[in-house]
Amino acid sequence: MHMHRLEKIWLAFGISMLIVFLGVLGVGAFAKGIHPPGHHRHIVDPETVDKVAPFNEPGLRKIGDNEYEAYMLAFAFGYAPEKMEVPAGATIHFHVTSKDVVHGFQIPGTNVNMMVMPGEVNQLTYTFKEPGEYLILCNEYCGVAHENMMTTIIVK
Ligand code: CUA
Residue 42 belongs to a domain: no
Residue 116 belongs to a domain: yes
Residue 41 belongs to a domain: no
Residue 40 belongs to a domain: no
Residue 43 belongs to a domain: no
User: How confident is the model over 32-89, as pLDDT tens digits?
Assistant: 777 666 556 688 888 888 888 899 999 999 999 999 999 999 999 999 998 999 999 9
Q: Is the CB of 153 under 6 A from ligand 1?
A: no
Residue 44 belongs to a domain: no
Q: What pLDDT does residue 32 have?
A: 77
| 125 and 58 assigned to the same domain | yes
Catalytic residue among 13, 21, 75, 105: 75
Residue 97 belongs to a domain: yes
Q: What pLDDT does residue 40 have?
A: 61
| 30 and 57 assigned to the same domain | no
- Distance (Å, rounded) from C-alpha 104 to C-alpha 75? 10
Residue 132 belongs to a domain: yes
Residue 26 belongs to what domain range? 1-34
Catalytic residue among 21, 55, 77, 94: 77
| Residue 113's CATH number | 2.60.40.420
Tell me how many domains the chain contains. 2
55 is a catalytic site residue: no
User: How confident is the model over 17-37, as pLDDT tens digits?
Assistant: 999 999 998 888 888 777 666
| 22 and 58 assigned to the same domain | no
pTM to 2 decimal places: 0.74
- Give Cα separations from 99 to 66, 77, 128, 153 (angstroms): 29, 11, 27, 21
Q: Is the CB of 140 under 6 A from ligand 1?
A: yes
